[in-house]
């Protein structure tokens, strides 16, 4: 009987995700814990800044 460990399952899952991404399938990643508030704010502001820049380029 084959023995499974969390590590093996995790590595197999990561390998499957990598194969899907290479084949053009979009893969989402979800956090199970939130990062510190400061980091979350930085990422949010950066995402908003990038979106505004894309809109400016489109409008031009």
The count of structural domains within the chain is: 1
Q: Does residue 25 lie in a domain region?
A: yes
Cα dist from 33 to 36, 45, 52, whole Å: 9, 20, 28
Contact yes or no for 17/9 (Cβ under 8 A):
no
Q: Does residue 1 lie in a domain region?
A: no
Q: Does residue 55 lie in a domain region?
A: yes
> Residue 40: which domain range?
6-59
What backbone torsions phi and psi does residue 30 show, to the nearest 5 degrees? -115, 140
Q: What is the pLDDT of residue 44?
A: 92
Q: For the segment 1-60, what is each residue's pLDDT rounded down to a tens digit? A: 445 455 566 788 888 878 887 888 776 767 788 889 999 899 999 999 999 999 998 887
């Amino acid at each position: 009987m084959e023995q499974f460990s969390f590590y093996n399952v995790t590595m197999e899952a990561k390998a499957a995700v990598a194969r899907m991404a290479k084949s053009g399938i979009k893969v989402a990643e979800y956090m199970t814990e939130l990062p510190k508030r400061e980091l979350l704010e930085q990422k949010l502001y950066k995402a908003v800044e990038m979106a505004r820049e894309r809109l400016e380029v489109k409008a031009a």
